[in-house]
Amino acid sequence: MTDRSFPAQPNQFPAVRLRRRRSSDWMRRLVQENHLQVEDLIWPIFVQEENGRSPVPSLPGVDRIGPDLWVEVAGEARALGIPALALFPVVPAHRKTLTCEEAWRTDNLVCQAMRRIRSQVEGLGLIADVALDPYNATGQDGLLSDSGEVLNDETIEALVKQSLAQAEAGAHILAPSDMMDGRIAAIRAALDAAGHSDVALMSYAAKFASAFYGPFRDAVGSSGALKGDKKSYQLNPANAREAELEARYDIDEGADMLIVKPGLPYLDILYRISQTSPVPVYAYQVSGEYAMMKAAAANGWLDEQAIVAETLMAFKRAGADGVWSYAALDLARALRS
């Protein structure tokens, strides 16, 4: 990184007037340090079994998307220049079990959606979430012991099977969000052995045990099913050095890209990791962040478009190479117009 440090100088006003660089729109654009563009955006969408759209009440403006609209929605994203979609399934309750075998069924919702979109929409990246929580009757990201402990190594075996199914269905990127120790190395080895060396891994390297995930769990139908909490595997919000260690381990295990999640409450983590990471780092503006902005805008307290752009610019300023956001489609339209 370029060293921009310089010796301390006394205040030289009036010769030095910093406002000169803020005097007009063209000047402000000329000297702008960071830029937000459509190519920075990843759009998370929820896929459901039923045709049509089902609104998510706690995520205003976000719908669960049915099979009849998968290609249409993907085509709109591609036309706007959004590089990639991230797919999350709304798994029916009768398909959720303690063993989570639906996660690697070759014809599950995510696999169906990826096959259909990839066959009809060219030039759009497809990201598949690797975790068991949408398929788990307990809402946990891992398999449980008889005593209720989330099992690390047994969960990794399940995640490997899920990853292989998603790769076979056409995923370009797999995004393990489970936070099990060692899962990146295991998934990378399995993908390579199965001939999927071109499938990239975008690891949720720093995923915190946050209170900001509630609307997402509503969207995928896991909030009511969740038994207990996820503090035994997701990061403690008080820890920064541990987050850096997680990122380092995931890079060493073969991660091609990293994610920091949530976004705004963890800008310091994003900055720390991005300063030393040799791979791209992404921020995830999670459901709770998005819902707060929508609620404030609905009450007339904030300008929605302006606040969305400002928060995403904060991620770029902190070092993010891109941003996951439920506002990606609206922001892409605004940037293109």
Q: Which of 96, 230, 261, 316 is catalytic?
A: 261
Does residue 298 have a pLDDT over 70?
Answer: yes
Q: Give dist(CA 45, CA 267) in Å, integer.
A: 24
Which run of H or of E encompasses 214?
A: helix 214-220
**Predicted local distance difference test score (pLDDT) of residue 4:** 67
Q: Is the distance from CB of 162 to CB of 103 less than 8 angstroms?
A: yes
Contacts of 250 (CB under 8 A, 6+ apart): 184, 203, 205, 258
Phi, psi (degrees; rounded to nearest 5) at 312: -70, -35
More confident residue, 44 or 215: 44
In sequence order, what are the beta bridge partners of 278? none
Does residue 217 have a pLDDT over 60?
Answer: yes
Q: Give dist(CA 274, CA 263) in Å, integer.
A: 13
The encoded tokens of residue 142 equal 């891992």
Confidence category of residue 25, pLDDT binned at 50, 70, 90: very high
Does residue 224 have a pLDDT over 90?
Answer: no
Superfamily for domain range 36-259: Aldolase class I (3.20.20.70)
Question: Comparing C-alpha atoms, which of 144, 52, 143 is closest to residue 90?
Answer: 52
Confidence category of residue 7, pLDDT binned at 50, 70, 90: low
> How many other C-beta atoms are found inside a 10 Å radius of the C-beta of residue 3?
5
Q: Give dist(CA 62, CA 334) in Å, integer.
A: 17
The reply to whether 294 belongs to the active site is no
DSSP 97: B
Contacts of 91 (CB under 8 A, 6+ apart): 102, 108, 109, 134, 135, 220, 221
pLDDT in tens, 155-168: 999 999 999 999 99
**Predicted local distance difference test score (pLDDT) of residue 214:** 87
In sequence order, what are the beta bridge partners of 285? 325
Please state at what angle helix 328-336 crosses helix 304-317, rounded to 10 degrees: 100
Q: What is the mean pLDDT of the chain?
A: 94
Does residue 8 have a pLDDT over 90?
Answer: no
The reply to whether 207 belongs to the active site is yes
Q: Which of 96, 207, 230, 294 is catalytic?
A: 207
Q: Is the distance from CB of 324 to CB of 284 less than 8 angstroms?
A: yes
Which run of H or of E encompasses 275?
A: helix 267-276
Ordered by start, the domain boundaries in the chain are 36-259
- The pLDDT of 56-67, averaged and rounded, is 94
Q: Give dist(CA 160, CA 131) in Å, integer.
A: 10
Question: Comparing C-alpha atoms, which of 85, 154, 162 is closest to residue 118?
Answer: 85
Q: Give dist(CA 271, CA 256) in Å, integer.
A: 18
pLDDT in tens, 52-61: 999 999 999 9
Does residue 205 have a pLDDT over 90?
Answer: yes
Angle at 248 between CA 243 and CA 253, to 5 degrees: 125
**Predicted local distance difference test score (pLDDT) of residue 330:** 93
Helices then strands (H, E): number in the chain? 11, 10
